[in-house]
Each structure stands twice: as C-alpha cells, then as structure tokens.
Structure 1
Amino acid sequence: MDKDRIRWFIDARFGMFIHWGIYAIPARGEWVKHFESIPEAQYQQYFETFNPIHYNPREWARIARQSGMKYAVMTTKHHDGFCLFDSQFTDYKATNTPAGRDLIKEYVDAFRAEGLRVGFYYSLLDWHHPDYPVAGDRFHPYRNFPEFSECKGNLERYALYVHNQVEELLTSYGKIDIIWFDFSYDDMRGEAWKATELVNMVRSLQPEILIDNRLGGNIRARQPEVYAGDFASPEQIIPPEGVTNEDGEPIPWEACITLNDHWGYHAQDLNWKSPRTIVRTLVECVSKGGNLLLNVGPNAKGEIPEASVRILSEVGQWMRRNGESIYGCGRAPFPKPEWGRWTAKEGRLYAHLLDRGIGPVNLRGLEGKIAYARLLADGSEVRLERPWNAAEYPEDAFISFSQPELPDDWDTVVELMMK
C-alpha cells in the first residue's frame, strides 16, 4: 500500500457517486435490462432517443462541492455496455445518440474546475458486447433465452476490449484520481480479466491513481495480489469494525451508499434517506477509518433529482459548520461511546454527540488531558466541569450543556483540544 498515494483519499472522506446512462429513460433503475430481460431491439430505443438537454456537469460539481464532497466517481460504462465517452472500440456510445458528444469529457472538465478530484467507474460486465458470455452467466439479461443457450462468448477477446477502453479513459482526459472497476463474480474474476496486466497498464499510465478492490483479488490478504486494489468498497453496508487485513491492520475503505434504493434513476423510488441519516452515516464511516461515497442518479434529461439536491444541500450546511471533524479525521483510540461516535486527528478529538442522555456527558479516561472544549459549529465554549456526584469516576472528564437538549439533534460536535 502506497500511503502517500492514498493520503488525499483518506483526508477527503466524502465523495459523490454518479450512476447515469440510457437506463435513465425507462427510469426503473440501472439493472432494468437484467430484471426485465428487455430484448436488445426494445432496449435500442433508449439508445436512439438519449438526449439529456439539461445536462450541466458544472451544476453537478457545484452541488457536490457545496455538500462538502471532495471527489466524484462517475459511470463511464455500466453493465448494459453503453459508453458515456467517445470510445474508438464501440459504436454504442453517447456520441452516436442525439446527445452527440463526449459526456465524460464535460464531467471531467466541470469537476476539475470546481476543485474536486475525478474518478471513473467502469463496469467489467457488458450485456451488449457480442464477446461477453451469455450461457451459464447468472446476471446476463438473456441467460434464460433459448436462442442464447450456446452463446459462450469469447472472454479473452472481450478482456482485450476492456483493456483498450480503460487505456482510452486513462489517456484521453488528463490526470484521473480513481478507477472504480465493478465487479467480479464466479469464474469472472482476477485473471479472467487479465487483471495483473490490466493493473500494470493502469499504473504505468496513471502512477498516482487509486484502484478499488473489485477486480477479484483479496485486499485483506497478508500478501494481496497486484490487482487487489488500494481500498475496499463495501456496498450498502457499514462494516461494524471498519476493514482490516489478516493481521488486524486497518485497510482504507469506502462505503458506497444510495440516497434512495437504486443507483440509477428510478422515477417511482421515493424512499429517500434523510439528511440526518446521511450525516450520521458519514460520521460512522469516518469513526471507523472509512469514506462515504454517496450516490446520485440523474434523470434522462441530465438533472439530479430535486429530492437529492435538497438532501445534499442540507448535508452541506452541516458540513460547513462541522467539516473539520470529518476531513483528515479517522478513528480515535477509544471504544465507541454510549453517546455517539469519536473522530480524531492530530491533537484533536471530536465528540459526535448523537444522544445526550441524562446529566453531563462522560468522556471516559480523559480527566486532566483536555486543554479546552468548544462547540465546533460556532466555536463557543463547552464547559468542562466535574459534577458533584461523579467522585467514583476519577479518570473521566465531563462536559455540560445549559439547555436540556443537544444544540444539534442530528449530531452535536464538540472539539476537544488535547494537552
């Protein structure tokens, strides 16, 4: 693990995932072709009518930055095989739709201009490519179609296609910070993708790039494969103790989480997570040494849904007040407290108070170790005082609030400067 290469990622802690493609037209999620086994001729209409007239990645980048995000990862090709970039190895791309242009180039330029790091998602699956296996594959939309029962594809030739497209992505848009491969399964893992060769090429083209762990290696191994990746990527779950290798040493990780229940745009999915839930999820990730990659699924016109924008705006307001407890922070050398979470960086502890309970807040084992305490949101003093009835807790420090409720019922952050 190159600690210098991944330093910015660990400091950033919060990023935007963007799932977007022609599946935004049926508006039933990015796996719609799989779940509904949509025939190619029917799916083709989405390709022929894709025209995101309101696509403005500068607006997307502004939303990301104002929400407190420091980087983004956008789908260049999802499982349906459609490419948002101008690949020379397929006609199934945005430049051949009514959109008529390279949508990835506009994304890269816009997010860079906003000061954000730029990442590419690239699906290893491809339900459109003729060399991708159908027979025996449990995810292909046509896996149960009799006419495809003998279609075993040509995986070696398809792997070359993958390598060629990845090379395009990493030579056409300047410096790229993350390549996010998705995903390996069954026999389609590791060297089935010629993964060692692929990673060596990626590293040669972009020496500072970060690679996720979905090429099929074991990032937790004592001696992981070349293609095991730089960070783990738990999906829709927060690891209970963070992520460690076989020796118990921490591994960089990033939880990818949806704002509702789908990655791609789904017009009927209104099961939105609240801003409060997002803030607490971000804090939980950081408290365990991880990042949060939070997804948006723009619609067919190229607009991030209003509900997503509203949620991210409110998260951004909390981050403007409390971001110092997130950026550059990680786990503290204490067990999880009963009142919430700890985050920490050199010289400072951040108490994330989620549930005050009754009486003063107990800071276990910190008596005499704190120089001062203040509310991070506005810098106001928080009183450090020993209550009369705490004589049996001589090693613990205590903070008190004058009001019966916490100042911020999402997460009240108290900054502790250590002696």
Structure 2
Amino acid sequence: MAAVPAPERGLTMPGDTSWFMRDRFGMFIHWGLYALPARGEWVRTTEGLSDVDYQRYFDRFDPDLYDPAQWAANARAAGVRYVVITAKHHDGFCLWDSAQTDFKSTNTPCREDLLRSFVDAFRAEGLRVGFYYSLLDWHHPDFPVDAYHPLGGGVAKRMIEGMGEEFSFETLAALPEDIRKRNEDRDIRVYAAYVRAQVRELLTGYGRIDVMWFDFSYPGAGGLPGKGKDDWESARLLELTRELAPHVIVNDRLDLPADHADVHTPEQVVPKEWVRVDGTPVVWEACHTFSGSWGYHRDEASWKSPQQLVRLLVETVACGGNLLMNVGPTGRGTFDRRALDALACYGDWLRLHGRAIYDCTASELTPPADCRYTQRGDRLYLHVFAWPCGELSLGEAAGRVAYAQLLDDASEVPLVDSGRALKLPVRRPDVLVPVVELFLRTDAP
C-alpha cells in the first residue's frame, strides 16, 4: 500500500529535486512592460507592435507600488513554497541590471534592479527562488524574425488566434522584403552568446537560485521554420548552467533529449496520470493561470472558480506532480484583487489540508468515483469532489484502514461494513474540497 515512488532520473548532473517533490506548490510570476498595455504578455506579437510602438511602455514603466515583501507575504499566506519570476520574457525586457543590454528596468523611470529586492524579500519569507528566462527575445538585434516575432507579418497572430489557416514555407517567404533583408544581418550565434552571458549573470549575481525555467523551443511552428537546440546552442547553455549551479533544477524546454531535464512541464493541462516520457515516469510540474493570460490582463473574465483552483492542485499532486500557479502583477506593481482572492482560496484550504499536499504523492490505490488520493507513508488522503449522501465505499482500500477522520477538524469518520466503507456526515464540511485522512493498517498486505 505504498505511495508511488519517485521516478528515477538519468542525468549525469541532475538538479536537486528532493525539496521540489516535497514542496509541491509554487507561484509563477509573469511581470514586465506588458503589464502596462494590460492585454497579456504576447501583446507585441498579437498586435504586431514594433520596437518604436513598444517603447512607450518602456518610457512609462514605473511600478511605484511595488513591494516585494508584500508579494512574498501573499505567497507565504497562500501556502506557496517556491516562486519562479520572469527575469526576462519574450519581449526581451530584463527585470535586473544586466550588463548585456540597455533594455532593462534600471533604465526605466523606476530605476531599480527589481530582481534584487525580489530575491531578498522572498528569501526572507523562507521561500525558494527560481528564474524564468525566455529563449526568445524580440528586442535583440541579432534575434532572427520568425513566425512568432512581432515583425513576422502577422503569421504568429493568426496562429495564436486559431484561425485555422494553412501555413507553409511560402507564407514565410511572403514576408515583407525589408524584414527578410533584416534577417540577413542577424546572427543567431551572437544572440546565443548573449543568452549565456545573461544566464551567467543570473546564476552568479543573486545567491543560490533553485530553478532555471527556460522557455521555449519551437523547431517548427505551424509548418514554419522555428528555433531549437541548434539556435540556442542548448548543450553549451545547459553545460554552463550545470557548471555554475550543479544543484539547480532545469526544465525540459531547451529542445534537448528528455534525460537532460530535471523536471518536465506540461502547460495549461491536467494530466490524468503520472507524466511519462518514453514510458518512464518523470519529475513533473504543471503550470497554470488563474485566467487565460500569464501577464496582467485587465479585461479578462475567464477566471477559475475557487473549487477549480483547489481541485487543480489536488489533481496534480494525486498524479505525482507539482503545481506552479501564475500571478500577473499590475503595471503599478501590485497583485490585483482577483489574484489576491484566488491566492486566499489556496491559503484558506491549505491551512487545514496542507498535510494532504506537502510531501505527498500519487497512491498505488485507485480512489472511489469522484475522489482523488494523495499519500504520504501510511497516511492516505481521500479528497472528495462530489459529497455522497451516507456511506462511501473505499474500494481498493477496503479493510486496509485502521482509523479515519475529517482533516479539517480531526473529527472521526466511522468505518462501517467491516471496514469496507466510510460513514460520512450528512452535511458536507464547509471547505472547498473535503479531505478524509485515512490511517492505513501497518499490518495490511
């Protein structure tokens, strides 16, 4: 009746995922110039904005209410154990004082290395810190125009909006003549060296960094030429990362073989079982948004309900994974009310049910219908999505439970039918997802 064991990893120099698989719940933060248009982090591409168009946000980026200590307190109150922030997103804007570029926060009206105060504040709250680093850079002069680039003739906009058009190499060849000529003077090798220089800054200038979250590779994009391991010189980039920080966790988006990644990162999906690569279970982390966008989007209305948010965490851990839940701060440097309310849902629930999540994993036992199991040693946690009236059959756990209680108040749940079922109270506990803590018999087969 053991929990499913952690998967074996085949890396020569694997990152330290021991803490990662205990902590289970992280916060993603997407923040940058795109908070000002407030239409999502891909606004440069979706609206085809040139460098000149985008400059107006750089000239006015002044998050005067930015308080990283408050962000860290919000994260801690929500039950978050680690955080990953966008040091640089696809637009190329850097939140730190990089020596490699002028396109950085210290040159905006805010005049601040935003990563410095961020790292200090989150570490002070006892949270682990990771950096997201975009492999794309729509601002860099040596980054070639491609299907996702804002200067790509609207190709990416049509792809993102899902218009269902057929794309081909001829589509790319039809880009305006001045753009194709501009690519002739762009050298991806120069850009790859720039990436390594910035990663060196991030891994040597801010103390111990626990996660490097690279994003993303696209060797082919809708049938169009893209960029992958050869463009990023991924092998050299990973070698540098391992050299500077052997402990750091590296994700799977460098377009390298699967066994080069410490963690695999399905996005905006809810796996139904432990994630596998070539049939082998791997360490994994699902990243999700509260609504549809990663960056702040003022007018977005598709926010998940409190029940959906908690169920997402439960379903992820029940399949042996971590959840990285995203917040997109505003242009003034605050978490807006919708984000704070969503975080409070997690905090309130985890305060009572945290031991059914932290240091837990998938169980070998199949749960009853409309339920999920998480497990830690001889504690089996039954997350009840649909509250039944009366008894709940334990299925595969029948006869294996020595004692049962509701986790929110430690009130006993009687075992009935010779230990094959639970006698639940008629009234559902007033929590987003009720959990029954099952103490397994240590003498069970």
Place the TM-score, normalised by the shorter chain, in its bin: over 0.9
Q: 2:351 aligns with which of 315, 320, 337?
A: 320
Tell me the equivalent position of 1:406: 428
Q: 1:23 aligns with which of 21, 34, 40?
A: 34
Does the CA contact (< 8 Å) of 1:275 and 1:312 recur in 2? no
Equivalences for 1:8-407 in 2 at 5 Å?
8-134=19-145, 137-144=146-153, 146=176, 147-152=178-183, 153-186=186-219, 187-219=226-258, 224=259, 228-246=260-278, 248-386=279-417, 397-403=420-426, 405-407=427-429
Percent identity, please. 46
The offset of 1:80, in angstroms, is 0.5
User: How well do the aligned residues superpose, as a CA RMSD in angstroms?
Assistant: 1.5
Does the CA contact (< 8 Å) of 2:15 and 2:249 recur in 1? no
Where has structure 1 moved over 6 Å in runs of 4 or more?
none
The offset of 1:367, in angstroms, is 3.2
**Residue identity in the other structure for 2:439:** M
Tell me the equivalent position of 1:389: none
Cα separation, 2, equivalents of 1:111 and 1:215: 27
Cα separation, 1, equivalents of 2:414 and 2:266: 39
The offset of 1:357, in angstroms, is 3.0
**What TM-score do you get using the length of structure 1 for normalisation?**
0.93
**Residue identity in the other structure for 1:143:** G
Does the CA contact (< 8 Å) of 2:357 and 2:374 recur in 1? yes
Cα separation, 2, equivalents of 1:408 and 1:179: 39
Structure 1: gaps spanning 5 or more residues: 387-393
Cα separation, 1, equivalents of 2:194 and 2:407: 51
**Residue identity in the other structure for 1:237:** V
The offset of 1:409, in angstroms, is 5.7
The offset of 1:336, in angstroms, is 4.3
Does the CA contact (< 8 Å) of 1:341 and 1:353 recur in 2? yes
**Residue identity in the other structure for 1:195:** S
Larger relative contact order (CA 8 Å, sep ≥ 6): 2
Cα separation, 2, equivalents of 1:42 and 1:194: 31
The offset of 1:4, in angstroms, is 8.0
Aligned residue for 1:168, secondary structure, equals helix
Does the CA contact (< 8 Å) of 1:5 and 1:210 recur in 2? yes
Does the CA contact (< 8 Å) of 2:367 and 2:394 recur in 1? no
- Tell me the alpha carbon deviations over residues 272-313 of structure 1, each in whole angstroms, 9 at most, x when there is no partner: 112211100000000001111000000100011111101111
The offset of 1:406, in angstroms, is 2.2
**What TM-score do you get using the length of structure 2 for normalisation?**
0.87
How many residue pairs match? The answer is 400
Cα separation, 1, equivalents of 2:73 and 2:307: 21
